[in-house]
Amino acid sequence: MTDAQTKKPPLSGIRVLELARVLAGPWAGQMLADMGADVIKVENPDGGDDTRAWGPPFVESVLGENLSAAYYHSTNRGKRSIAIDLKTEEGQATVRELAARADVLIENFKRGGLEKYGLDYESLKAINPKLVYCSITGFGQDGPYADLAGYDYIVQGMSGFMSVTGAPDGEPMKAGVAIADIFTGIYAVTAIQAALIHVMRTGEGQLVDMALLDVQAGILANQNMNYLVSGTAPSRLGNSHPNISPYEVVPVADGHIILAIGNDGQFRRLTRILGIEAMADDPLFATNKARVASRAGVRGMVTAETAKWQKADLLEACGKAAVPAGPINSIAEMFDDPQVIARKLRIDLEAEDGTVIPGVRSPIVLSETPLHYHRPSPALGEHTDEILAELRRPETETKGNAG
């Protein structure tokens, strides 16, 4: 056994009850599971998490059995699944028992959706004052949109993100993955861990109120500040950067590469590579401020030269001259990249029947409390009997340890 395998992950002993489906909540749950938390995923017996059916592609067992869609497996590894019908009194009572022994609860029902079952924050706080209750909704617990359902795609549009994404002469464009959901899951984990520290200090749990719109608006970063400082809303620039030039996709003889020129020294070195050194001394292009103002001219002169190069040759030349540049990989090429291989981003988890389910490890690397990946995503209700048996044992044997 390696040293890393003998060390406990950072959230070992923390119990999480996940009443969430699709992406934002399960993404948070998977991150907590990777960090060692015991994450119990509560699923409807009739079909379970919606994403189990979001295929093709579907994962097949060694015997050809459908093990749910690849989408589901992207966000549910490391958890235990219990099948509970929340509409029944028995199911509600079971969830209350689980919540009484949990450190964290994650849910993504519409505002008030769990109140009718007695599973809202105030109800569960009464039986477990230390509970960190994370509610993930589209628009939060207050405001005029609080009762509306929230969808990642719609939030990408509402937040302004799509107004700055896409070609200037094309339609507004969403991201290639559900970034509002994913970032909300990540922010939720940050908030949950902060709340757990508060529990350890005071013994007091709290409600964590996460909203997709809040998160998606917040991550617009420099584009938000560009507007707040200038009063002018940024527009779509395609692959160009609003504050730096040239920082964009450029053509080469056999495709495209990315140039990411972040300062004047890098630009000067680029002009030497391309044989247009005079640009670096021209007042129209000598500084980043000037290049942003003369963006079209910069692009025209630079791309006229990059188009003469083979991709590999230009990337090699840029690398030798410390000019930031990179390829545009397909996902297949990304997994074949030697750096990705060296960092062991791909993981393969084996189910009890011998089926190997691939995945991607968390990007978090900790030297003393390494994350662990010990089980693939669960089958629907796979651990129901196991979890119910734990409830019959004394609470001191199964309670989490945040407090």
Q: Any idea which residues carry the catalytic annotation?
A: 181
CA distance 52 to 255: 37
* Residue 131, beta-bridge partner list: none
CA distance 267 to 269: 5
Tokens encoding 32: 């907590």
Tokens encoding 215: 């998160």
24-34 vs 179-202: helix axis angle to the nearest 10? 50
CA distance 280 to 264: 8
Query: Within 13 Å and on the Cβ side, how many CA atoms surround 351?
Result: 22
Asked whether the beta carbons of 321 and 269 are under 8 A apart, the reply is yes
CA distance 266 to 374: 45
